[in-house]
Amino acid sequence: MQDIVDFIQKTFNTKEFIPLHEPRFIGNEKKYLNDCIDSTFVSSVGTYVDKFEKIFAQKTGSKYAIATVNGTSALHVSLILSDVIRGDEVITQPLTFIATCNAIDYIGARPVFVDVDLDTMGLSPFALKDFLEKNCEIVENQCINKTTDKVIRACVPMHTFGHPCKIDEIRNICNAWNITLVEDAAESLGSYYKNQHTGTFGKLGTFSFNGNKIITSGGGGVIVTDDEKLAQRAKHITTTAKVPHKWEYTHDEIGYNYRMPNLNAALLVAQLEQVENFLEDKRELASEYKKFFDPNKEIDFVQEPENAKSNYWLQSVIVKDIIKRNKFLEYTNRNGVMTRPIWKLMNELKMFKDCQSTSLNNAKYLEERVVNITSSVRL
């Protein structure tokens, strides 16, 4: 494995410790931050929030973008906007970051876990269709889970590490079963499926700008939608549901203090100016990794799926088995190259172990073998 460590050190031109993914602030970040500070509008009211929302909507091809404090809050609000209520069920994948399931649980709903595809690592339309046909029925225009007698209100697929899942097939299945599609596109800014940006196939899509994402403001998230009424309500309930007035404080429903501060938006406006350079560098890095790992019989480099253009947010490999995976992780981390395993399956966590699930053979296979390798932009 020393050859892998040597290659990564050469690729990143350093013998020092190499983190998994670190941010790059090489543009107007400090300039815009100083401008924001000088304006004294550092909270959720400010020109940079408005500017960011406009630019981001244009970038993804959405009509509207609503900035939030993080990706989890964006997903939480999107599920509320999808009329998910306590006692409902939401279909998602077991191979995901905990935020996906946390957002479902915040409402008092429960996840139903459906297997993923090996080629995308995202929700499998075949497994989704099979689950619905075997377990559900339409009653009064609602999808009813015959096993639990609960309404399946929404479906939340996730584009794993920026690799698009077969989102058009998933959308068609959801439409046929009267299930609202909410895309967890937290990791997929700059990713496209059949020439359409991820996050824009569903009724709502959400993105994250956590410190390890391709562009970051330390935190931050955003909701995208083409529905004007949903966009207006998203902005309303993320601003504590305050009724607009010059001085009075009146709130007309339960709201959330989820609006992105102007300081964070200033960072993101600067980061968006660099995002195409970041994406280009990511794809160049992926090409170098592919050439390096191709001759290796026990490690496969994860490439973008068919019909997709991936942002390669986190570069990944699939190791032959869990024993070799653990050796890979131990050796690289001990030698100054940070690597990380994929997440533990959500249905194996104590909070969600009683949730209904399909056969999860693909998800389990990937859980035992996928490793994220050094992925930072090198600019």
Q: What is the pLDDT of residues 129-169, one digit of tens each?
A: 999 999 999 999 999 999 999 999 999 999 999 999 999 99
**pLDDT for 45:** 86
**pLDDT for 133:** 98
**Residue 147: how many CB atoms within 10 A of its CB?**
12
Domains and CATH numbers, the chain: 29-272 (3.40.640.10)
How is 251-289 classified by DSSP, letter by letter? B-S---B-BPPHHHHHHHHHHHHHHHHHHHHHHHHHHHH
Chain-centroid distance, C-alpha 352:
20
**pLDDT for 221:** 98
Handedness of CA 81, 167, 164, 324 (dihedral sign): positive
Query: Which residue reads 């279909």 in tokens?
Result: 91
**pLDDT for 66:** 98
In sequence order, the 6+-apart residues with CB closer than 8 A to the CB of 244 are none
Tokens of 72: 């989890």
**pLDDT for 107:** 98
The parts of the chain modelled with pLDDT lower than 50 are none
Report d(CA 183, CA 89) in Å as an integer. 16
Are the CB atoms for 178 and 109 separated by under 8 Å?
no
Report d(CA 238, CA 350) in Å as an integer. 30
Report d(CA 165, CA 194) in Å as an integer. 11
E strand intervals along 95-203: 110-113, 136-139, 142-145, 150-156, 180-184, 192-193, 196-197
Q: What is the pTM of this model?
A: 0.96
Tokens of 177: 């079963």
In sequence order, the 6+-apart residues with CB closer than 8 A to the CB of 52 are 65, 67, 260, 265, 268, 269, 272
**Nearest CA to 221 among 174, 193, 260, 249?**
260
How is 321-356 classified by DSSP, letter by letter? SHHHHHHHHHHHHHTTB--EEPPPPGGGSTTTTTS-
- Mapped onto helix, strand or coil, the DSSP state of residue 17 is coil
Give 104-108 contacts, CB < 8 A, sequence gap 24+.
Answer: 104/79, 104/156, 105/351, 106/76, 107/76, 107/79, 107/80
